[in-house]
């Protein structure tokens, strides 16, 4: 068990709506990253939070935003949902922000936009 | 630009056969990290191994072994005496160096491995 938990597990939203996904990082981990995994593809990096600040961002539009809280848990917010936003959203926590550490992933939130 | 290529989309073998999953990567960094993750149907990515660019020593862990060859930019993964429980999607991945501000992991497209009884 990795200790990274995500909620909800599944979610169905309508195009144009807004959604918030939540992630509790593993104890002692101050870095949280979010990934989007479309069906049949590998995960793609959305952004990373380190000590409550955004610490890097992938090629995603501004309607994808996030927060990290003092307890290092995190939220991913997506505004103006589009059909292509349907995917598995994975949260990963790590004890360090650099590359020299493994990231521990949660079970993901499967978002369906209709 | 960094890129990870897993040319094998799907592999199916009979239980107890050995199977090798190929991974080729591209990066301009001199310091980088390579990973393998397993994704069972439940969706969670399970960490298998991390290797830094300065350590080309092959590694064996039980039935799993990894062959890192910097000369060919490959980091292949072999399962010996495969079992049905090994059925999953396997991802090879690459991470930027420690000195980067964000340790984003770049994943390949994955290889779906099916082990038939």
Task: Give residue-wise pLDDT tens across range A39-66.
Answer: 999 999 999 998 888 888 899 999 999 9
Give dist(CA A4, CA A24) in Å, integer: 6
Residue B97 has what pLDDT?
60
Residue in this structure with the two tokens 């499967």, named with its chain if needed: A110
Cα–Cα distance for residue pair B102/A56, rounded to 1 Å: 5
Asked if pLDDT for residue A83 goes beyond 50, the answer is yes
Higher pLDDT among residues A100 and B24, named by residue? B24
Interface A:B, Cβ pairs < 8 A: 84
pLDDT value at A2 more than 70: no
Residues of B within 8 A of A103 (CB-CB) are 47, 103, 105
pLDDT tens digits, one per residue of B81-104:
999 999 999 999 998 765 555 568
Check CB contact under 8 Å for A100 and B33: yes
């Amino acid at each position: 068990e990795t200790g990274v938990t995500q909620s909800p597990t599944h979610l169905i939203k309508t195009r144009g709506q807004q959604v918030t996904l939540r992630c509790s990082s593993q104890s002692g981990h101050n870095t949280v990253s979010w990934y989007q995994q479309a069906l049949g593809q590998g995960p793609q990096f959305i952004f990373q939070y380190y000590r409550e600040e955004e610490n890097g961002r992938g090629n995603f539009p501004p309607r994808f935003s996030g927060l990290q809280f003092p307890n290092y848990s995190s939220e991913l917010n997506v505004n103006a949902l589009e059909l292509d936003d349907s995917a598995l959203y994975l949260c990963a926590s790590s004890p360090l922000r650099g590359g020299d550490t493994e990231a521990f992933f949660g079970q993901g939130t499967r978002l369906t936009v209709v | 630009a960094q890129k990870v290529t897993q040319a094998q989309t799907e592999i199916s073998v009979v239980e107890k056969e050995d199977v090798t999953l190929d991974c080729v990567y591209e990066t301009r960094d001199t310091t980088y990290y390579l990973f393998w993750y397993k994704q069972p149907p439940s969706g969670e990515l399970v960490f298998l191994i991390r290797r830094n660019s300065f350590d080309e020593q092959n590694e064996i862990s039980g039935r799993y072994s990894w062959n890192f060859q910097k000369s060919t930019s490959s980091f292949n993964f072999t399962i010996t005496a495969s079992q049905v429980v090994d059925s999953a999607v396997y991802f090879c991945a690459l991470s930027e160096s420690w000195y980067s501000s964000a340790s984003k992991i770049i994943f390949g497209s994955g290889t779906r491995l099916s082990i038939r009884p």
